[in-house]
Amino acid sequence: MPQNPTTIVDELGIALSNFADAATGAFTPTLRLGVTGLSRAGKTIFITALVHNLLAGGRLPGFAPLAEGRFIGARLAEYPDATIPRFAYEQHLEALSGKTPTWPESTRRVSQLRIVLKYQSKNWYSGLRGPTTLNLDIVDYPGEWLLDLPLLGLSFAEWSAEALERARRPGSGKEAGPFLKLLDDIDPNKDANDPDAERLAAAFTEYLRRSREHGALSTLPPGRFLLPGDLEGSPALTFAPLPPSPRGMRHGSLHAMLENRYEAYKDRVVRPFFRDHFARLDRQIVLVDTLRALNAGPAAVADLETALTAVLGCFRQGETNPLLRPFVRKIDRILFAATKADHVHHTSHDRLEAILNRLVANAGKRARFAGADVKPIALAGIRATREGSIVEDGETLPTIIGTPIAGEQLDGVTYDGKTEIALFPGDLPERPDSLFEDGAPVSLNFLRFTPPQKLDRNANGDVVLPHIRFDRALDYLLGDWLA
């Protein structure tokens, strides 16, 4: 975490919020789980699958409370904060399980949901009291917003220097070129005016958007530029990085205006997000589209490592003293999940997990030193493919079978969204370090697939969502709280 990210007033507000949570949960404890995802990683799908599997008692052999017969059931409950949007679970499940299943729309703002879990504790002294309940509060927020937190420790000059250094790298010319040209044509020491500020902000936003489309993550901050929500068009989102002025900054200049707006962005957007949501989490899962980065090449892989390191540096990590927990909350477990494991054959799942482990290795050491546990996993919250094999040139190749989304293209073929295909997705390297040693790109046949078109139902008539290693993720995040 950057130094001095919060003020004394912030810390007092966080402590009071935590105390209010503790008072509300005096009889029923509450676990606050943060869920975020970087660049189309499947956050909405993960939360929908999590809630549905708990409500319907899904097929989760690796989730100990359910496998041991101690998990009694779950129900949705009213979230205590009526000012925060509710995660639209029912609508998302309907999209996935309707007559024509589709992937649900991504969420673009903070949303929350409370689910009450009932279970039988395996501790004899707790078991004497009968079934136990736990409030699980799911806090859903965009990963782009998470990457804003390091800005709290950066001045406008420091952020500008970092942003412009990235924009001027040799591989960024195509995306950053128009913004840099506009920057060269504007004198930051001229009188402040809104048209110039708006043109710079628009060009910088377009550069960030194009960078994200090509797999870049660490170039995203400020995250609200890409997901503005209710702030779209506001002065707090109308600034851009500027080079230092050789004559110094003049009061009333364009440079002074943009610096003031940058500081306003930190104080009125980033800091409240940290104080009101992020600093009150107990557990965190970060969903990562690792395959997309691998398919984009070595530069995207290196950029992903940089982004994940920045993400881990943002968390308040470590074990919380039980006596201080009413006032102080820390994240003691962080799960990094490489999603879309159904896009490769199961023989590559362990390799995908090992690659993610390599990407978070350095930052993970710091988290463990602080007292938090970090775990990588390869999973699919909802499995969109099944497996098979094909014979090509006398060689049997493992394949995945599914229906590519309409408009997906591979080897000159454009798919119609109705045709099922068998695809050899390619092999992941056995040694994750090879991705960093020689910079060799990984050749993957990467396509997006439609959701499963026919779902099984359990004895109660609830749909069963197929998954990969989802039960292991739930056990890591919730299992000890349900012991």
Where residue 107 sits, what CATH number does that domain have?
A: 3.40.50.300
Instruction: Report which secondary-structure segment, H or E, holds 27.
Output: none
Alpha-carbon dihedral sign for residues 408, 410, 412, 413: negative
**Burial category of 168 from C-beta neighbours within 10 Å (exposed 0-12, middle 13-18, buried 19 and up):** exposed
User: If you write DSSP's letter for every residue of 247-309 in order, what string do you get?
Assistant: T-PPTTBHHHHHHHHHHHHIIIIIHHHHHHTGGG-SEEEEEE-HHHHHHH-HHHHHHHHHHHH
Do 241 and 284 belong to one domain? no
Within a domain: 422:
no
98-108 burial string, b = 16+ CB within 10 Å, else e?
Answer: eeebebbeebe
Same domain flag for 474 and 329: yes
User: Strand, coil or helix: what is 388?
Assistant: strand
Strand partners, 334: 284, 374
Predicted pLDDT of residue 1: 43
Both 72 and 162 in one domain: the answer is no
- Residue 334: CB atoms within 10 A of its CB come to 26
Q: Are residues 355 and 267 in the same domain?
A: no
Query: Rounded to a whole number, what is the distance in angstroms from the first to the last CA of the chain?
Result: 31
Task: Confirm whether 432 is domain-assigned.
Answer: no
On whether residue 477 sits in a domain, the answer given is yes
Q: Does residue 458 sit within a domain?
A: no
Same domain? 326 vs 474: yes
**Closest-CA residue to 138 (of 116, 159, 154, 122):** 116
Q: Which two tokens stand for residue 468?
A: 């990969």
The tokens describing 318, both together, are 């470590």
**Half-sphere exposure (Cβ direction) of 479: Cα atoms closer than 13 Å:** 18
**Nearest of 273, 287, 279 to residue 316 by alpha carbon:** 279
* pLDDT of the residue at 440: 59
Position 40 scores a pLDDT of 80
Closest among 340, 341, 369, 374 to 358, alpha carbons compared? 374
* Total count of domains within the chain: 2
Let me know: does 295 contact 450? Beta carbons within 8 Å.
no
Q: CB count, 10 Å around CB of 139? A: 21
Domain carrying residue 181: 149-272
Domain's final residue, options 222, 246, 272: 272
Alpha-carbon 79 to chain mean position: 22
Q: Compute the distance between CA of residue 362 and CA of residue 242 in angstroms, rounded to an integer.
A: 31
Taking residue 387's Cβ as centre, other Cβ atoms within 10 Å add up to 15
Domain boundary among 250, 272, 294: 272
Shared-domain flag, residues 122 and 165: no
Backbone angles phi, psi at 266, to 5 degrees: -65, -45
Q: Residue 260, Cβ neighbours under 10 Å: how many?
A: 14
Question: How far is Cα 138 from Cα 52, in angstroms, rounded to an integer?
Answer: 13
Residue 250 sits in the same domain as residue 316: no
List CB contacts of 441: < 8 A, sequence separation 6 or more: 297, 298
- Examine residue 301 and state whether it is found in any structural domain, yes or no: yes
Residue 337, domain member (yes or no): yes
**Cβ 85 vs Cβ 91: under 8 Å:** no
pLDDT (tens, 9 = 90+) of the chain, 483 residues, equals: 444 455 555 555 555 555 555 555 456 899 999 998 876 889 999 999 999 999 999 999 999 999 999 999 999 999 888 888 999 999 999 999 988 999 998 877 889 999 999 999 988 766 567 899 999 999 998 888 877 888 888 999 999 999 999 899 887 888 999 999 999 999 999 999 999 999 999 999 999 988 887 766 666 689 889 888 778 888 999 999 999 877 777 889 999 999 999 999 999 999 888 888 778 899 999 999 999 888 877 878 888 888 888 777 777 776 655 544 454 688 999 999 999 999 999 999 999 999 999 999 887 888 888 888 999 999 999 999 999 998 888 888 899 999 999 999 998 999 999 999 999 998 898 888 887 765 556 678 889 999 999 999 998 999 999 999 999 999 999 999 999
pLDDT at site 89: 96
Work out the number of other CB atoms within 10 angstroms of the CB of residue 129.
Answer: 8
Core vs surface per residue 39-55: b (16+ CB within 10 A) or e: bebbbbbbbbbbbbbbb
Q: Note whether 192 and 260 are same-domain residues.
A: yes
Among residues 241, 256, 272, which one ends one of the domains?
272
Establish if 106 belongs to a structural domain.
Answer: yes
Contacts of 437 by beta carbon, 8 Å cutoff, 6+ apart: none
Distance between CA 222 and CA 237 in Å, rounded? Answer: 9
The answer to whether residue 392 sits within a structural domain is: no
- Residues paired with 436 in a beta bridge: none
d(CA 98, CA 74): 23
Cut 0.85: pTM above it: yes
The pLDDT value recorded for residue 314 is: 75
Do 135 and 32 belong together in one domain? yes
* Cα three-residue angle 229-233-238, rounded to 5 degrees: 110
Residue 11: predicted pLDDT: 55
Cα separation of 254 and 131, whole Å? 63
Question: CB of 254 within 8 A of CB of 196?
Answer: yes
Mean pLDDT of the chain: 87
Q: In this structure, are residues 349 and 476 in contact, taking their beta carbons and an 8 Å threshold?
A: no
Is the same domain home to 44 and 88? yes
The pLDDT assigned to 405 comes to 96
> 262 and 340 share a domain?
no
Write the Ramachandran bin of 297: left for phi over 0, alpha for psi from -120 to 50, otherwise beta: left
Per the CB < 8 A criterion, the answer to whether 240 and 179 are in contact is yes
Pair (302, 355) in one structural domain: yes
